[in-house]
Chain A
Amino acid sequence: MKDVVFYDFVRGPLLKFALFVFFAGISYRFFRVVFLGLPADYAKPKGNPYLMAVKKIIIKPTMGWTFNEIFSRRAINFIGGFLFHLGFLGLTFFVPAHALLWKEIIGISLPVMPSLIVDILTYSALGSLIALTLHRALNPVLKLLTGKDEYFANLLVALILFTGLLANKWAGGGLYIWLLSMHMLLADLLILYIPFSRLSHFVYYFLSVGFMGWNAGKRGVSF
């Protein structure tokens, strides 16, 4: 197969299909959960459930912010998790090529980063992802909570970061188009995979944390 044919396929029909499935899949799961609702509860709320839901969503990420928690007890989770999310989200939106893609999809012009920042974010995200994966595999408690889904997702994201890094840094000669196509193919797979995996936590996180806050508000307890 000619590399340009493959390149046109992954950036054209496959990407369009993946994006459609992504938006449809995320909406399907979100609205399914919302429409299923909760069993009827006739008890009068003891607090303000909706206020507590919003409060929980806002302050949850900062709840463990103590020196010991961040730098000692759960250092890998906190520092690795922070660097990974910062890198991955920053790269997803603000790499010049990606920003132009987002402009095409959602119509909003995003600012772009110079290559130096892109490189720093990629190295930190990739390093953090490796550390977090090893931590998952070695920590006795996390090991029990981790399934094939997590390992596959981590591998997929790591490959995307790595091929993206090469696409930005590598003067790979004639093979460059295969590399770029591979980066986009893996990204297409990730877009397809997100709605049906735990990677969809970027939407459902807010739903579940909000529910916990709502529940606490209903019972009139703090969290």
Chain B
Amino acid sequence: MHSLYEIFKRNGYTRRDFLRYVALLVSAVGFPPSFLPNAVKALESKPKPVVIWLEFQDCAGCSESFIRSTSLLPADVLLDYLSLEYHETLMAPSGLQAEEAKREAIERYKGEYILIVEGSVSPKYKGVYCTIGGKSNEEILKEASKHARLIIAVGSCACWGGIPHAEPNPTGAMPISEILKDKKVVHIPGCPPIGDVMVATIVGFVMTGREPALDNLGRPKTFYGQTIHDRCYRRPFYNAGKFASSFEDEGAKKGYCLYKLGCKGPITRNACATVRWNGGLSFPIQSGHPCFGCSEPDFWDRSFLYSPLSVVEGGFGWKKVLAGIAVGSALGLGSAYINKKLRGVK
């Protein structure tokens, strides 16, 4: 099994290129510069990680995002380095051959491989909604997770249930952590998550040999430790009280804050505002669309995609104000009437 350095050399990169990319990885994972020599040593000597990638109820968007991660490792190195032993969308074999490849990989790399799961699991009716090669998704997940060294749930479907889990959830979709209750699962949520975050988490694991520090929802703190709002380049407009009121108004053209248009940046923890997408090119807010909080649980069902964060969920309005006043007035009148009666006042 080749190390990252050997793969760099094989692809015609110099040692200087290798060191530059390792420095980038070290800073992306959030380690101090003093960790650089250890990281170089690890990536020179440790064999490339074996990855088994399972897909259940998903759209393959997370896979798309993953293979387009080009900021931290060059594309030709990335796909060579992360040894995807099994990935339904990317692998050449299909049918029984593919299933055989997975079984072999699990057997050969017992206790060494990284299991990545994309998509939610549907155990309803013995998993009839999602079966592969005659096996239910729950069965496949349990089988593959048994000997995994690290389990990573990528995307909001695998982490929280995602869109398959949205009301009325006909397939009984659930996050993988509900099936693997006795195992630790690293969550990399997003719809899809940022490819560079997935790569950095895996390479960080290779460098240190242990899983990253996680927040209370099981997400790496390095990438999910801060809100988008904290790092948003439009934050100065929020501070100045300058907001776009529609997608076409002058405020939107001037790049003002999108809070009024329903931006969920203040309550969304993700690295979009710092790592950004497509090689650091942009992220939703930079493209003029409010963040809708795809990395937070059940974002789809919270039904406030385009309403400002501070408004009452589901609305309140004049009718309820008047209803409250009517109830209060009736109670006040009744109470005063009874009081007068008891005191014998005419």
A residues contacting B by CB (< 8 A) are 2-5, 7-8, 11-12, 15-16, 19-36, 39, 96-98, 100-101, 103-107, 112-116, 171-174, 176-177, 180
Contacts and interface: CB of A to CB of B under 8 A. Distances in A.
A39 B312 CA distance: 44
Contacts of A27: 324-329, 332
Contacts of A177: 227, 267, 269
A180 B267 contact: yes
A4 B297 contact: yes
Nearest to B315: A104
Given A7-B267, A173-B230, A31 B329 contact: yes
Contacts of B241: 96, 112-115
B111 to A, nearest CB: 32
A117 B243 CA distance: 16
B240 interface: yes
Nearest to A7: B267
Contact of A16 (B242, B316, B336): B316
A155 to B, nearest CB: 24
Contact of B340 (A3, A7, A30, A36): A36
Contacts, number: 154
Contact of B332 (A2, A29, A97): A29
Contacts of A173: 225-227, 230, 269
Contacts of B227: 173-174, 176-177
Contacts of A112: 241, 243
Contacts of B345: 39
A28 B225 contact: no
B66 interface: no
B339 A36 contact: yes
Interface in B127-148: none
Given A20-B323, A116-B239, 9 more contacts: A24-B331, A27-B329, A32-B336, A33-B332, A97-B309, A100-B311, A105-B317, A173-B269, A176-B229
B112 interface: no
B308 interface: yes
A32 B335 contact: yes
B312 A31 contact: no
A24 B325 contact: yes
B259 interface: yes
A22 B321 CA distance: 9
B336 A35 contact: yes
7 contacts: A23-B321, A27-B327, A33-B332, A39-B345, A98-B310, A100-B260, A176-B230
A167 to B, nearest CB: 9
A16 B312 contact: yes
Given A107-B317, A173-B227, A96 B331 contact: no
B273 to A, nearest CB: 12
A15 B304 CA distance: 16
A172 to B, nearest CB: 8
Contacts of A16: 312, 314, 316, 320
Given A2-B217, A177-B267, A31 B315 contact: no
A12 B269 contact: no
A13 B318 CA distance: 17
B64 interface: no
A31 B269 contact: no
Nearest to B226: A173
B87 interface: no
Contacts of B331: 24, 28, 32
Nearest to B311: A104
Contacts of A24: 324-325, 327-328, 331
- 7 nearest interchain CB pairs? A27-B328, A23-B324, A31-B332, A35-B336, A97-B310, A24-B328, A32-B332
Contact of A28 (B224, B318, B329): B329
Contacts of A22: 324
Given A16-B320, A27-B324, A176 B266 contact: yes
A15 B309 CA distance: 14
